[in-house]
């Protein structure tokens, strides 16, 4: 009695099946998380601009960015956007 799992064809079919399942899962997750990723990129860009301007939450011994919860309001306070341009 031989096992069907010992053949090369079984291994190839299993590998192809796993690639399809994992690839589909990753594609779904990437597309469903796209809005969150874009928002995080926007906030990070605002934090970098504020930090370059010297607006940060530093004390004498550390260098840190403005927190994500206040980055938007601080950005609006210091940066005036053109109506024709989109925010970063």
pLDDT at 5 over 90: no
Distance from C-alpha of 12 to C-alpha of 25, rounded to nearest angstrom = 20
- Asked if 47 and 74 count as a contact pair (C-beta separation under 8 A), the reply is no
More confident residue, 24 or 82: 24
Please state whether the predicted TM-score (pTM) of the whole model is above 0.95.
Answer: no
Terminal-residue alpha carbon distance, the chain: 66
- Asked if 78 and 72 count as a contact pair (C-beta separation under 8 A), the reply is no
Q: Which two tokens stand for residue 38?
A: 């874009």
Distance from C-alpha of 43 to C-alpha of 76, rounded to nearest angstrom = 12
Q: Which two tokens stand for residue 2?
A: 């031989």
**pLDDT tens digits, 11-39:** 999 999 999 999 999 999 999 999 999 99
- Residue 88: closest CA among 47, 36, 59, 32: 47
Q: What is the mean pLDDT of residues 36-51?
A: 92
């Amino acid at each position: 009695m031989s096992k069907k799992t010992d053949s090369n064809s079984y291994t190839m079919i299993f590998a192809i099946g796993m690639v399809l399942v994992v690839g589909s899962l990753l594609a779904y997750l990437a597309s469903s998380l796209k809005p969150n990723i874009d928002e995080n990129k926007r906030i990070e860009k605002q934090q970098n601009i504020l930090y370059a301007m010297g607006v940060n939450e530093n004390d004498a011994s550390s260098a840190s960015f403005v927190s994500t919860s206040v980055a938007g309001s601080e950005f609006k306070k210091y940066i005036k956007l053109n109506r024709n341009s989109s925010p970063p």
